[in-house]
Amino acid sequence: MKAETPAKGIMINEKWKDAHSYTVRCECGSTNHNVDAWVEVDTDTSTRDMTMTFFMETYTPGISGLFSRLSNAARILFTGYIKQEHSLILREQAANNFLKAVQNSVKTLKTVREE
């Protein structure tokens, strides 16, 4: 299966000289599950690595999640961190589109690294 243009489920937010940002839509239909993805060239001239960063919102619904909220708040307060996971449901076509978008970003941003 080949990547589509325009890519279903993948939205380009911005393209800068040294970074590209995307929104990857979850197939479940809830915008709460979307992931914002950034592909960037590291500004450290000694490495010039590529960095992928993912941003997502996590939530605990309503009053039924009150214990979970309090437990997580206490864990952060007393230990300084909390472990979380996020699932992003993608159909095969959307997964291929996302992979192609990342490959295109790396190819484009590679020229910045070589400057």
Q: What is the pTM of this model?
A: 0.70
Q: Which of 45-49, 67-71, 76-80, 96-100 has the highest mean pLDDT?
A: 76-80
pLDDT at residue 6, rounded to an integer: 67
- Give 53's strand partners: 38
pLDDT digits (tens, 9 = 90+) for 41-50: 877 777 767 8
d(CA 109, CA 101): 12
Residue 56 CA, chain-centre distance (Å), reads 7
Q: Within 10 Å of residue 109's Cβ, how many Cβ atoms?
A: 22
Contact 40, 109 (CB under 8 A): yes
d(CA 105, CA 21): 9
Torsion of CA 105, 13, 39, 46, to 10 degrees: 100
User: Which of the pair, 84 or 20, is modelled with greater confidence?
Assistant: 20
